[in-house]
Amino acid sequence: MHIRVVNPNTTESMTALIEATARAVTGPGVTLDAVTPAMGPASIESHYDEALAVPGLLAAVAQGERDGVDGYVVACFGDPGLDAARELASGPVIGIAEAAMHAATLVGRGFSVVTTLDRTRGRALDLAARYAPAGACRGVYACDIPVLSLEGDPTVRKRVVDLARVALERDGSDVIVLGCAGMADLCAAATAELGVPVIDGVAAATLLVQSLITLSIKTSKRGEYATPPAKPYTGMLLPFRL
Amino acid sequence: MHIRVVNPNTTESMTALIEATARAVTGPGVTLDAVTPAMGPASIESHYDEALAVPGLLAAVAQGERDGVDGYVVACFGDPGLDAARELASGPVIGIAEAAMHAATLVGRGFSVVTTLDRTRGRALDLAARYAPAGACRGVYACDIPVLSLEGDPTVRKRVVDLARVALERDGSDVIVLGCAGMADLCAAATAELGVPVIDGVAAATLLVQSLITLSIKTSKRGEYATPPAKPYTGMLLPFRL
Amino acid sequence: MHIRVVNPNTTESMTALIEATARAVTGPGVTLDAVTPAMGPASIESHYDEALAVPGLLAAVAQGERDGVDGYVVACFGDPGLDAARELASGPVIGIAEAAMHAATLVGRGFSVVTTLDRTRGRALDLAARYAPAGACRGVYACDIPVLSLEGDPTVRKRVVDLARVALERDGSDVIVLGCAGMADLCAAATAELGVPVIDGVAAATLLVQSLITLSIKTSKRGEYATPPAKPYTGMLLPFRL
Amino acid sequence: MHIRVVNPNTTESMTALIEATARAVTGPGVTLDAVTPAMGPASIESHYDEALAVPGLLAAVAQGERDGVDGYVVACFGDPGLDAARELASGPVIGIAEAAMHAATLVGRGFSVVTTLDRTRGRALDLAARYAPAGACRGVYACDIPVLSLEGDPTVRKRVVDLARVALERDGSDVIVLGCAGMADLCAAATAELGVPVIDGVAAATLLVQSLITLSIKTSKRGEYATPPAKPYTGMLLPFRL
Amino acid sequence: MHIRVVNPNTTESMTALIEATARAVTGPGVTLDAVTPAMGPASIESHYDEALAVPGLLAAVAQGERDGVDGYVVACFGDPGLDAARELASGPVIGIAEAAMHAATLVGRGFSVVTTLDRTRGRALDLAARYAPAGACRGVYACDIPVLSLEGDPTVRKRVVDLARVALERDGSDVIVLGCAGMADLCAAATAELGVPVIDGVAAATLLVQSLITLSIKTSKRGEYATPPAKPYTGMLLPFRL
Amino acid sequence: MHIRVVNPNTTESMTALIEATARAVTGPGVTLDAVTPAMGPASIESHYDEALAVPGLLAAVAQGERDGVDGYVVACFGDPGLDAARELASGPVIGIAEAAMHAATLVGRGFSVVTTLDRTRGRALDLAARYAPAGACRGVYACDIPVLSLEGDPTVRKRVVDLARVALERDGSDVIVLGCAGMADLCAAATAELGVPVIDGVAAATLLVQSLITLSIKTSKRGEYATPPAKPYTGMLLPFRL
């Protein structure tokens, strides 16, 4: 079984963190690799960044199909390009926000998200509306730390944990979802400190993909996720012509 | 890792089917057993049956805690007693309707459920409202075969597959969810015949539980799923006193 | 006309309070009795308690059918076993949370619930989602008094009223729903002190049942609430075989 | 106890039917009268009619307050002027659509409405969204008989019952709500023929009002239903100045 | 092109303000007039006022049809009589709450409303539920200034702006909607002070009507907004007979 | 006033149609131009196409900002890249699905969409959930004509009109929304044939943008639509670095 984790941003050190996180949970017999796109933004902190992360992500998935990959993780909490990637892939494709929110609803009654910048809160709420039943996501909190500053800053864990405490209290929630792939390494410590499940989407998505592959459950090709119809592409994006 | 699958009805042959289904997908290093409750209905086809299946289920989970079980599957599509079981268990507890609906939304845009008796359709819709985002469950269809008649009837597969075809067409759905643990053995054949993902909740729930245990994600004990407060119990239910 | 009020917990003094509350509002020609189940928990403060209160409740309703009872009140604010009881009963069966929430929406624009323990807030919200239109229930507040401590504690009324005041202000609500059968005797005083309608579900449910019986409106037996199909029951629950 | 039923249209024979229906269900000690407004449309079959039925209704409620009336029924299925009437009244005010939909959800899982003209279907759906939880109202069907043609036409019952049968089948519903005060006299026969509860809002609303008065539950005067602020009124509507 | 703005209350000075506001934004070739009804309340601050504003509004629209008016603005934030007016008019009819909420969702992610009296907040929320997608309206705030006191009071702007600041912060909204036609003249100053779009519904509705007329988009006469069926009217409302 | 219409696909003849449609409705003093992106797919018929249309669209909007454009129309019914475009633009940005759905709800009670390929129906439903209140969009129908085959095919109008007739009947809707910019030239004829408002989003969006500019209402820069934070971009997408 071959799982590929795509980091939609172009920061290699973040890909490395994501790969280590994913590899730590996969079972025996799983080949897991993580890739950085050949084009796009260094981090994703706006709709603009997100839109421009998608071409690189799609190129990575198209390459994955040529490589015989069985399933994919999209490792950015905004789950960019998920629908388009599903059209390309024959196996399952899971986003980390999707995975984390699914996992959160399996072990609690209501979750709060702790994310990076305030301007990404709306996206997290949109995703919750898409993935989770009404009322399951009780709040989204921003710690105001840019994505690329998460790594190597020793104060991050305390700020995230403190904010999570506020969230649990205000929202009456019982699970915390970490709202950025760059927070994956905080998961165990935060769980211990907070005494509630703290969910990292990278690990969760990896095991969801592994589970679906084991179950031989692939992306449905009836209707909306069928392979896109071929057509002319022009300009810089000519290479994306199917 | 020790996973216990609880069949909430008291029919041993169904427990055997469920156990075989679950065991076929678990990874190496997983101890999996399936248990039949010591009391309750032979099958669950009404709210009455469901309510009276719960004591036996809870006794099985309480025993599981004494046995050091790490996580549970509740293997009836009505997901009876799930909230109460979560109060008892320290690890995760997943229902098969819950698991199947989660899996369905990961690989398609809308699913239809094919279940047994017409009178259980309302319960399936209630569960979809609880587990899935609005609009994800597009219909619930009853094949009008009692639970205990599923086993050994060679016409069942054709009737279920035919009904699923109707559902896909009417609902514009792209995934089928099997609405009874007793249909688990139809899953592979139905997938092949229908050309869309067909989800069996027993296998899906087993791998979700295995995944959560691997991720060290337990049932939250903050708030609603905390251990129940101790108090007097009387009459026939005295043994349930905590 | 014969109305039976079932107290789903096994505390006799609470049954007495409930019976007095219900009897105070019934019209002439109504025979009203209240019963305590022969088995189950002394109070209901968890999903576990609630699940294990249901067998005793169902036995009481089955006995009621043999006694020719015309309609039932389920007198615990979690409305345990309501669907199953409706399958057994030919007449109407009303839960006290159901009745209180219905009454609240008839005389105001938004209600707040004041209940006992924090861990039961989720159940109250689930019930509001089931019974009331979206947005009608604006908040659920816990006074942190265990059910069996309500009786005889002279400070209870003040704590409930003070909490209701907070709720009215924070939620902008205009009606208060009392979230426990054990609060029934606070209703008149709280209404006077707060100057808004304060609804006790025991009295409200009793008059709803009386009204439905007068109107010859019975539980629908088309579909989901039809009599459960007969089947083998085993173990301790053998007596529940229909 | 004094209950007043207001027929919002100006057709006296319909007021008589409504009064008889209501009087048949009230308990001993209840004074019930029904009134026809002094102004407005002969029947209500459009938003225009409904808007112009409201002044007459409000005049009737204002008169009721001077007469010491304890509670009101608004006996048109569009529930015209309900919010404004609640501002005027100190006791409860219940609409017949409101009452019928409440009653329907107490004895079944989903109801269908059979109403008069197709153009009023939207109003019925709006009211269902206001009164009933999501999904409870499964369909609204128009029999295409004008309101004033209901009376005295021997074919009406058959057409309503036939349409109700279609509704039960298509919607999978288990309760029928009659969508016009002018259908009140069909209720018993339709129940017998259809074998499911058929709800007439006039009788249901009357008993709901009687129940609320017995419970001393009045319209909340905190906030939105407080007495309207006094101010100048001009022209033909000068008499409505408070 | 002839647009008529109807002020549903009978205060002439407010009609003048509304007319000036609307006229300031219309394009060349547009004839715009504003009218005051011949009957009804001096301001609309309750459901009672709103109900009694509708006859005058409908008379004004009926006159407009005789005058060949192409489209209407209903210039009170409660959008009284909108459905009935649409039945009468062949062209478009837009309410100012409707217009403001539509405009708000086109330039931001979530809006807050600042309105006059606390008791009108419920109506604003009902309108948001009718016009805007779920979650778009994040809060409604009352500045506690009666409608007729808005004009000429130099402190109003500061109170409205201060309240809007609170709303933006608490709700995390990014657009402010002014909740009264009498606030139209605050719009430009408030936008400048707050640094977010502040929407006045009078101007917005006028341009929406102008746009729909330019596009030849009229009120649909298929079904609910078709011309009302003719019938007898009696009493003071006899002149409203169609 | 300068309005720019961006055709997100790269087919020049479609840009010409769109430009003519938009220009036909703009008022005096409006400079309107339409642009074709320098890169991307020839038509948008999948999530893949849509994702890869966005870079070209964003480049066009960035150029528009340098050109002093006051507002934008995104002229593809999937409204690709709308959120990202709003981050770049200071003025309003309106999608044609957004505009059409807004217009539809202003003149009717429920609309049906007639679109091109079946696989795009899900996207239309997602957009309806985002733009319109619950229940306003009653159905989406696909005429199974590829986008680029719409132009010049004399049978298209009949097929679209026939499908719209089916939609009106099945859905009980009273307005039709055309689900592709390439259908803009059918609008007048379809309105005449169907006798209900038929909305073309290109014209509607153009007038909405013109109206917002006239009202000085710009995209809110508080929060989510603020200018994106600058950061490194790599590979082929380096030119998109802000």
Confidence class of residue C181 from pLDDT cuts 50, 70 and 90? very high
User: Distance from E234 to chain F by nearest Cα, in Å?
Assistant: 30
Q: Is residue F125 less than 8 Å (CB to CB) from chain B?
A: yes
Q: What's the first-to-final CA gap in chain E, in angstroms?
A: 26
Residues β-bridged to residue D94: D73
Confidence class of residue F67 from pLDDT cuts 50, 70 and 90? very high
Q: Which pLDDT value is given to residue B170?
A: 97
- Rounded Cα distance, D208 and D214, in Å: 10
CB contact under 8 A, D48 and E242: yes
Domains of chain C: 2-96+203-240 (3.40.50.12500), 97-200 (3.40.50.12500)
CB contact under 8 A, C237 and B51: no
Name residues whose C-beta falls within 8 Å of residue B26's C-beta, 6 or more positions apart in sequence.
B3, B32, B206, B207, B210
CB contact under 8 A, E109 and A122: yes
* A128-186 per-position pLDDT tens digit: 999 999 999 999 999 999 989 988 888 999 999 999 999 999 999 999 999 999 999 99
Residue B172 main-chain phi, psi, to 5 deg: 60, 30
Show residues of chain E in contact with A125, CB under 8 Å.
Answer: 135
Q: Is residue D208 less than 8 Å (CB to CB) from chain E?
A: no
- Give percent of chain C with pLDDT exceeding 70: 100
Average pLDDT, chain F: 97
Show residues of chain F in contact with A83, CB under 8 Å.
Answer: 47
Residues β-bridged to residue D35: D6
Name subunits touching D (3+ CB pairs < 8 A): B, C, E, F
CB atoms < 10 A from the CB of D101, how many? 27
Q: What is the helix (H) or strand (E) element at residue C230, kind and residue range?
A: none
Q: Which two tokens stand for residue B33?
A: 């057993």
- Rounded Cα distance, C121 and A135, in Å: 14
Query: B237 exposed, middle or buried (CB, 10 Å; 0-12, 13-18, 19+)?
Result: buried
Name the residue in chain E with its Cα closest to that of D55.
E52
* B20-55 per-position pLDDT tens digit: 999 999 999 999 999 999 999 999 999 999 999 999
Q: Is residue A91 less than 8 Å (CB to CB) from chain B?
A: no
Q: Tell me, what DSSP letter sits at residue D215?
A: T
Q: Which pLDDT value is given to residue E154?
A: 86
* B220-239 per-position pLDDT tens digit: 999 899 999 999 999 999 99
Name the residue in chain F with its Cα closest to that of D125.
F135
Name the residue in chain B with its Cα closest to that of C148.
B231
Name the residue in chain C with its Cα closest to that of A109.
C122
The answer to whether C103 touches C209, Cβ cutoff 8 Å, is no
Lowest mean pLDDT among A144-153, F28-37, F43-52: A144-153
CB contact under 8 A, F122 and B109: yes
Name residues whose C-beta falls within 8 Å of residue D35's C-beta, 6 or more positions apart in sequence.
D4, D5, D6, D7, D15, D60, D63
The answer to whether A33 touches A206, Cβ cutoff 8 Å, is no
- H helices, E strands: number in chain B: 8, 10
- Give percent of chain D with pLDDT exceeding 70: 100
Name the residue in chain E with its Cα closest to that of C134.
E129
pLDDT mean over A63-89: 98
pLDDT mean over D160-178: 97
Q: What is the helix (H) or strand (E) element at residue D238, kind and residue range?
A: none
- Rounded Cα distance, C237 and C62, in Å: 14
User: Distance from D68 to chain B by nearest Cα, in Å?
Assistant: 45
* C64-86 per-position pLDDT tens digit: 999 999 999 999 999 999 999 99
- Rounded Cα distance, F146 and E132, in Å: 32
Name the residue in chain E with its Cα closest to that of A126.
E135
Instruction: Pick from B12, B63, B131, B234 the residue to mutate for testing the C interface (most C CBs within 10 Å).
Output: B234
Show residues of chain C in contact with B88, CB under 8 Å.
Answer: 48
- Rounded Cα distance, F236 and F231, in Å: 15
Alpha-carbon distances, residue E183 vs A174, E179, F141 (angstroms): 44, 7, 43
The answer to whether D200 touches D164, Cβ cutoff 8 Å, is no
Q: Which pLDDT value is given to residue D153?
A: 86
CB contact under 8 A, F174 and E223: yes
* D43-91 per-position pLDDT tens digit: 999 999 999 999 999 999 999 999 999 999 999 999 999 999 999 999 9
- Length of chain E, in residues: 242
Show residues of chain D in contact with C23, CB under 8 Å.
Answer: none
Lowest mean pLDDT among A121-125, B43-47, C149-153, F207-211: C149-153
Q: Is residue D125 less than 8 Å (CB to CB) from chain E?
A: no
| b/e A86-107 (16+ beta carbons within 10 angstroms → b) | bbbbebbbbbbbbbbbbbbbbb
Confidence class of residue F125 from pLDDT cuts 50, 70 and 90? very high
* A166-175 per-position pLDDT tens digit: 999 999 999 9
ipTM of this complex prediction, to 2 decimal places: 0.97
The answer to whether B212 touches B32, Cβ cutoff 8 Å, is no
Name residues whose C-beta falls within 8 Å of residue C158's C-beta, 6 or more positions apart in sequence.
none
For the four alpha carbons of E145, E146, E147 and E149, in that order, the dihedral sign comes to: negative
Radius of gyration of chain E (CA): 17
Q: What is the helix (H) or strand (E) element at residue F135, kind and residue range?
A: none
Q: Is residue E47 less than 8 Å (CB to CB) from chain C?
A: no
Helix (H, G, I), strand (E, B) or coil at B139: strand
CB contact under 8 A, F236 and A39: yes
Instruction: Pick from A88, A220, A231 the residue to mutate for testing the F interface (most F CBs within 10 Å).
Output: A231
pLDDT mean over B64-75: 98
Q: At what angle do helices B121-131 and B96-107 cross, to 10 degrees?
A: 60
Show residues of chain E in contact with F217, CB under 8 Å.
Answer: 103, 106-107, 197, 199, 204
Strand residue runs (E) in chain C: 2-6, 31-35, 40-41, 71-74, 93-95, 111-115, 137-142, 175-178, 198-199, 233-234
The answer to whether F46 touches A81, Cβ cutoff 8 Å, is no
CB contact under 8 A, B172 and F125: no
Q: Which pLDDT value is given to residue E152?
A: 82
- Length of chain C, in residues: 242
CB contact under 8 A, D122 and F135: no
- Bridge-based pairing of strands D233-234 and E40-41 is antiparallel
Average pLDDT, chain D: 97
- Rounded Cα distance, E75 and E67, in Å: 19
- Picking from D179, D209, D212, the residue whose alpha carbon sits closest to that of residue D22 is D209
* C221-234 per-position pLDDT tens digit: 998 999 999 999 99
User: Distance from D171 to chain B by nearest Cα, in Å?
Assistant: 12
- Rounded Cα distance, A105 and B220, in Å: 10
Name residues whose C-beta falls within 8 Å of residue C8's C-beta, 6 or more positions apart in sequence.
C37, C40, C44, C53, C54, C56, C57, C74, C75, C76, C80, C81
Q: Which two tokens stand for residue B40?
A: 């309750």
Dihedral, CA atoms, A128, A129, A135, A139, nearest 10 degrees? 40
Helix (H, G, I), strand (E, B) or coil at B177: strand
User: Distance from C81 to chain A by nearest Cα, in Å?
Assistant: 21
Name the residue in chain D with its Cα closest to that of C104.
D217
- Rounded Cα distance, B2 and B9, in Å: 21
User: Distance from B66 to chain D by nearest Cα, in Å?
Assistant: 40
Q: At what angle do helices A201-214 and A12-23 cross, to 10 degrees?
A: 50
- H helices, E strands: number in chain E: 8, 10
Confidence class of residue E151 from pLDDT cuts 50, 70 and 90? confident
Helix (H, G, I), strand (E, B) or coil at E175: strand
- What is the separation of C-alpha D110 from the centre of its chain, rounded to a whole number of angstroms? 20
Lowest mean pLDDT among C43-57, E50-64, E139-153: E139-153
Confidence class of residue C153 from pLDDT cuts 50, 70 and 90? confident
Q: Which pLDDT value is given to residue F151?
A: 86
Q: Is residue D172 less than 8 Å (CB to CB) from chain B?
A: yes
Name the residue in chain E with its Cα closest to that of D232.
E42
Q: Which pLDDT value is given to residue B152?
A: 82
Show residues of chain C in contact with A109, CB under 8 Å.
Answer: 122
- Rounded Cα distance, B102 and B94, in Å: 11
CB contact under 8 A, B215 and A25: yes
pLDDT mean over C187-215: 97
CB contact under 8 A, C135 and E121: no
In chain B, positions 49-78, which contact chain A (CB-CB < 8 Å)? none
* B96-155 per-position pLDDT tens digit: 999 999 999 999 999 999 999 999 999 999 999 999 999 999 999 999 999 899 888 889
CB contact under 8 A, A109 and C122: yes
Show residues of chain A in contact with E109, CB under 8 Å.
Answer: 122
Show the DSSP H helices in chain F as ranges.
Answer: 12-23, 47-66, 82-88, 96-107, 121-131, 156-171, 187-194, 201-214
- Beta sheet of D2-6, edge-to-edge order: D31-35, D2-6, D71-74, D93-95
Show residues of chain E in contact with F27, CB under 8 Å.
Answer: 27-28, 214
Name the residue in chain D with its Cα closest to that of C174.
D222
Q: Is residue B122 less than 8 Å (CB to CB) from chain D?
A: yes
The answer to whether E180 touches E146, Cβ cutoff 8 Å, is no
pLDDT mean over B76-82: 98
- Give percent of chain B with pLDDT exceeding 90: 96
Q: At what angle do helices D12-23 and D201-214 cross, to 10 degrees?
A: 50
CB contact under 8 A, D109 and B122: yes
Q: Which pLDDT value is given to residue D225?
A: 98
- Give percent of chain D with pLDDT exceeding 90: 96
| b/e C112-130 (16+ beta carbons within 10 angstroms → b) | bbbbbbbbbbbbbbbbbbb
In chain C, positions 7-46, which contact chain D (CB-CB < 8 Å)? 25, 27-28
Q: Which pLDDT value is given to residue B153?
A: 86
Show residues of chain F in contact with D122, CB under 8 Å.
Answer: 109
Show residues of chain F in contact with E132, CB under 8 Å.
Answer: 133
Helix/strand/coil percent split, chain B, to 5 = 50, 15, 35
Residue D186 has pLDDT above 90, yes or no: yes
Name residues whose C-beta falls within 8 Å of residue E20's C-beta, 6 or more positions apart in sequence.
none
- Rounded Cα distance, E49 and E40, in Å: 8
- Give percent of chain E with pLDDT exceeding 70: 100
User: Distance from A83 to chain E by nearest Cα, in Å?
Assistant: 23
Show residues of chain F in contact with E220, CB under 8 Å.
Answer: 107-109, 174-175, 196-197
Name residues whose C-beta falls within 8 Å of residue B159's C-beta, 6 or more positions apart in sequence.
B143, B145
Q: Is residue C222 less than 8 Å (CB to CB) from chain B?
A: no
* F152-197 per-position pLDDT tens digit: 888 999 999 999 999 999 999 999 999 999 999 999 999 999 999 9
For the four alpha carbons of F152, F153, F155 and F157, in that order, the dihedral sign comes to: negative
Nearest 5 degrees, angle CA E82-CA E87-CA E92?
Answer: 65
- Rounded Cα distance, D213 and D228, in Å: 23
